[in-house]
Structure 1
Amino acid sequence: MGKDTIVIREIEQKDDPKIAKAIRSVLIEMGVPKVGTAYEDLSLDCMTETYNKPKAKYFVLASGSEILGGAGIAPLENYSGNVCELQKMYFMPSIRGKGFGLKMMTRCLDFAKSVGYQHCYLETMPYMDDARKLYKKVGFEFIDKPMGDTGHYSCTVWMLKTL
């Protein structure tokens, strides 16, 4: 698998079980609780359907038929402002540290801007140091409390970026 054979593309129905497996695998690897996080989201098993709505899109990192990670943008749940959420951004160990996180973030944030969002919110875990460094690098700033109600009460780090 060469770096040049890996592409970022919109999710397709055939990707649903592969991205669900990849995300759950990374969450287990990272020691993320199975409750109060993306691990228990019903949407993990039907990502194409979940992101098939206005102002939402999910992208996968693919090498042929293999799904190596993904990330999405959707309206922030239970929030009335013009804010989206960066959701379910996870990558398999084999592709971390190769610049794909920045490429994926750029793709997601470009989409968010193109559909008119003013801010992008995200939730993460305090020990996901590399992820937090990337988020800061692209302009996310820490905030004191969660926004909306995503149901991810185990995530205790909240960040926001003006688009």
Structure 2
Amino acid sequence: MHGSENNISGAHNASGSCCTHHLNSGANPYCLRVIAPEDDAALKDLILSVVVEHGITDSEYNTNPSELEELSVQFSSPGCRYWVVEEAATGRLLGGGGLAVLPGGDGSICELQKLYLHPDARGHGLGKQLLERLLLDGIELGYRQMYLEIHPTLVKSQVLYEKMGFQRIEHRLGNTGHECCGVFMLRPLTLLNTSASNTEPVL
């Protein structure tokens, strides 16, 4: 991942899960690995807590509880990928992010989905490294572009996405159902721009 991680396939963290990558984060080591069924409950709680943290109501954000159930199953389909971030020493789940084919698209565009970090995991460059990993996944899975929708109040996240090569577009693509996410961004899946600061926080 362009200098952002070291492959350590086969290594295990404190929880016993296979840790596929270490993330560079200063003093605190973090682990990046593919989502597993045992992550589902903690990840759902994390996503809902971050939404509440930013003052976005469930009705406004259109958070359908069924969309957060069994995320490991949802992202096991072909063309999907989801990574979780956890504290290597304790196995504590601190974030995650994924991609899937854009609903209602032509199959060439993937959508960045459910990228969230716990407050304790922000400010260490983890959001940038996770996003880099997902951009590489999009390329490997054969997509040509990555699309995202984001709530207008999440300004810091928008700054990071722009630094990572996403550009704002005027109109919504596909049929995501996220009506309150009024900012639309698109990025070609070519070479990665890794100029974003390692201290930029991300939702």
Same fold (TM over 0.5): yes
Question: Which residue does 2:59 correspond to in 1?
Answer: 35
Question: Aligned residues: percent identity?
Answer: 34
C-alpha contact 2:101 2:107 (8 A) present in aligned 1: no
**1:40: Cα distance to partner?**
1.9
2:44 paired with 1:20:
yes
- 2:85 is aligned, of 56, 61, 65, to 61
**1:85: Cα distance to partner?**
0.3
Amino acid at match of 2:172: P
**1:39: Cα distance to partner?**
2.6
**1:131: Cα distance to partner?**
0.4
- 1:108 is aligned, of 117, 120, 134, to 134
C-alpha contact 2:95 2:115 (8 A) present in aligned 1: yes
Question: Which residue does 2:119 correspond to in 1?
Answer: 93
Amino acid at match of 1:124: I
Q: CA RMSD in A?
A: 1.4
**1:145: Cα distance to partner?**
1.1
Gaps (5+ residues) in structure 2?
1-25, 190-203
Distance in 2 of aligned mates of 1:7 and 1:130: 23
Which structure carries more relative contact order (alpha carbon 8 Å, separation 6+)?
1
Gaps (5+ residues) in structure 1?
none
SS of the residue aligned with 2:84?
strand
- How many residues are paired up? 162
2:72 paired with 1:48:
yes
C-alpha contact 2:32 2:84 (8 A) present in aligned 1: yes
Amino acid at match of 2:39: D
2:138 paired with 1:121:
no
Question: Which residue does 1:6 correspond to in 2?
Answer: 30
SS of the residue aligned with 2:172?
coil
**1:129: Cα distance to partner?**
1.2
**1:138: Cα distance to partner?**
0.6
**Higher radius of gyration, 1 or 2:** 2
**1:3: Cα distance to partner?**
4.6
- Which structure has the highest helix share of the two? 1
Task: Give TM-score, length-normalised by structure 2.
Answer: 0.76
- 1:136 is aligned, of 162, 168, 171, to 162
Change (3 A) 1:3 1:61: farther
Amino acid at match of 1:157: V
Task: Give TM-score, length-normalised by structure 1.
Answer: 0.94
Amino acid at match of 1:107: R
